[in-house]
Structures are given as C-alpha cells and as structure tokens.
Amino acid sequence: MFYQTADMVDGADSLGFNVGGAVPLVNGFQILFSAGRGLTNISTNQFSYYIALYRAF
C-alpha cells in the first residue's frame, strides 16, 4: 500500500496498492513482478505493473 501527496498546487493526493513476488529460475536468475492500482482518484490513477529479470551473483 502506498500514499502519494499531490505533485502540484490544487492537485489530488493518491492512495494505491501493489502485490508482487518472485519466481526462481536457474543459475541465480529470478523473474520479479508487481501489479496494482489506485484506490482513490480511480479515473486518473490506472492499473500499473512491473516485470523484471534479476540475477544474483
């Protein structure tokens, strides 16, 4: 869950959430993911997601 204050005068604050995780692969690689959406100002705060390939060494 996250909260962001307005980024301009007379702008609106926003509240949202993300859920994420990781899937282990081979040789220290993982797929990281996160997805979520806003809970306030829904008309302007749309669905967001993140996918990455991570390597630990």
The β-bridge relationship of strands 14-24 and 29-38 is antiparallel
| Alpha-carbon span 4 to 26, nearest angstrom | 37
The per-residue pLDDT for 52 is 98
pTM equals 0.69
The per-residue pLDDT for 1 is 85
| Alpha-carbon span 20 to 47, nearest angstrom | 14
Q: Which amino acid is at 38?
A: G
The per-residue pLDDT for 15 is 87
Per-residue pLDDT of the chain (57 residues; tens, 9 = 90+): 888 888 889 888 888 899 999 999 999 999 999 999 988 877 776 788 999 999 987
